[in-house]
Structure formats: C-alpha cells, structure tokens
Chain A
Amino acid sequence: MRSEIIITLVGMGIVTYLTRVLFIVGMKGDRLPPFVVRWLSYVPVAVLTAIICPMIAAPEKHLNLTYDNPYLVAGILTTIIAVATKNLVITVIGGMGVILLLKFLVG
C-alpha cells in the first residue's frame, strides 16, 4: 500500500465529508439562495463533460474531430446507447464493444 495514494484518499474523504456535514449541522431552517442552488446543481454536468470531452476529442493531446479518431466515434455511439438505455452497465459494455469493433476494423 502506497502512502501517497492513502494520503490522497484521506484528503478526498475529508473534503467530501465536509460537503456533507457543513449544512446538515450548520443550517437552522434557512435555505440557500436559489442562485447558489442552481449553480451547484449544474456542477456535476460541467465536471462530467469536462472529463469526457478531452478524452474523446483529443485522445493524443491534439484536437481530432474526424472519423479517423475511434474514441470520438465510439463516444458518439456510446452516447446514443446511454440515451436509449439509461443504464450504466449496458452503456459501459456497449461502449467497450464499440471501441473494440472500431479498433479491429480500423486496425
């Protein structure tokens, strides 16, 4: 077990617990301003998009928006699977099938 990983995990755990405990203990009947609620509600979409897009649009650290980029094509097809099924496990397995097929076809 590596200490740097454990330190990182503990740090992740502390900041996560803080996000949970702060308002459960701190709120006394008052509510968050609607603007803040709206902002925070958009964070997961923003973060997930930020993780996905560079992975599929620039897999070799330069922009490649052509059909030669298997990650982009697979990303689009996987999105279609996700919209159709709304099921994480099917989406992951389907996505892996698509990328394997593309790599096999493209070589």
Chain B
Amino acid sequence: MSGPTFDRRQIWKGFAESVPVMVSVFAFGLVYGVLAVQSGLTVLEAFLSCVIVLAGMSQFASLPLFAAGISPLTIIGTTFIINMRHLIMGASIAGKFTERGLFGKAAASYFLIDESFAMATAYAEKKKGGSVRDYMIGSGIAVFAAWNIGTILGALFGNFLGDPKEFGLDFAAAAAFIGLLVPQIRGKGDILVLLIAAALSVGAYLTFEGSWYILITGITASLAGALVTRDEK
C-alpha cells in the first residue's frame, strides 16, 4: 500500500497516556454542550462544531455570538484570532517531527490541540526516539473522543433544562470564561494584557455596534502587551 505509514503502536501509546487528560476534557465538553444548546445550537450542531472546529476555547467564544445572531464573518474572524496560538504550537512541534511526508503532517495538524500539544512536547523531551507525530495523533484522538462524548451528553442534558435564566445559565458562560482565563494568568505580562483588555473591551463594546470589540481588543491588547514586556516565559 502506498501513502504515509503511521506507527500504530505510537498512536496507541499517545492515546493511552492521554487517558488522565480525557477526564478534564470530558468535563469541559459537558459544560460546552449544555451552554451550546442554551445558546441556540441543536445537539447535532453542537456535535458538528466539535468535529469541524475541534478547538474548545474558540467554540466557547462563539456561543454568545451565535446566541446574539452575530454575522458569520465576525464569528469566523473571532475564531481565527483566538486560534492564532496554534501557529506557535505548530512551529514548535514541527521541529520535533522526523517524518517528511506532507499528508502525514496535514493529518497530524488536525490533532494539534492544546492538550495533545502538551503531551507530545513532554514526550519529545524524554527523547525516547518514537514518532512524536504519531504520538500526538494518538493523544489528539483521545482528546477528540472525550470532547465529543462530553459535548453530546452535555447538549442532551442541556435540552432538558428549561429557561436558562431560571438556572443562572445566562451567567454560566461568563463563569466558564472566567474559569478558562484564570489559569492563563502566569506572569506580570498577562496581568498587564488583562488590564488593557478590560478597559479597551468595555470602551469598545459601549462605542461600537456588534461584536467587533472582541476582535479589536484581542489584537491590540495582546500587541500592546508584547510591545511593553520582554520575554518572561
């Protein structure tokens, strides 16, 4: 058979070692599923978003925009900004791949997720010699499975809950974002970016129509942070 060959043992190893990660991804998926149907997506659409996008943070960010009926272009643009961090991850992990095949790299790219990136990077640092690419694919499959199962169960459960406001679910999205943001604050630079983004986003939100304030703030506050700080990470 022609085409790229994947090392099944490495894929299985990546999968098996990612089982602990699956627990938190599954819980994360449950929350996403509930919020997705409360934001107006159907169970099927919530499931499809996981298969097509497979990037939790941006999927979360899209929910208030879907709920508000924001234009597709704004949602897609916001998704791109949030997922630009994959560029750094891709540049970093690509240096650890030994295979050259284009198709294999393109397939592995689909599984470049925060969690699988972290697992594959840790594996590469052990220098055991196995394929980092296939290890990441295995880890990505584990994350993919946990994320989808969590989302479907969450979405089915969310359908049973009635009016979002009665259960405080209108605030649940804000709480979820706070829960995602807090672990990202690791240094002075992050606090600075947070403060700039807080002032800028509220100002832009009150000034402009629509949801451009997220894009505007996402680009400028991070740029301001990068200009003011030096490397700390």
Chain A residues close to B by CB (< 8 Å): 1-2, 4-13, 15-25, 27, 29, 31-32, 34-35, 37-58, 61-63, 71, 74-75, 78-79, 82-83, 86-89, 91-92, 94-97, 99-100, 103
The CA of A83 and the CA of B169, in the complex, are separated in Å by 21
Query: 3 shortest A-B CB distances, which residue pairs?
Result: A95-B175, A91-B179, A50-B217
The answer to whether A41 and B88 touch across the interface, beta carbons within 8 angstroms, is yes
Q: List 27 A-B contacts (CB under 8 A).
A: A1-B44, A9-B49, A12-B52, A12-B59, A13-B52, A17-B109, A23-B91, A31-B95, A40-B88, A42-B189, A46-B194, A47-B61, A47-B81, A49-B197, A49-B217, A50-B200, A51-B201, A52-B174, A54-B206, A55-B173, A55-B177, A82-B178, A82-B181, A91-B175, A92-B179, A95-B178, A100-B168
In the assembled complex, B19 has its CB within 8 A of some CB on chain A: no
Contact of B90 among A10, A23, A78 (CB under 8 A): A23
| A-contacting 9-mer, from B9-17, B72-80, B123-131, B141-149 | B72-80
Number of interface residues of B (CB under 8 A): 95
The answer to whether B42 and A1 touch across the interface, beta carbons within 8 angstroms, is yes
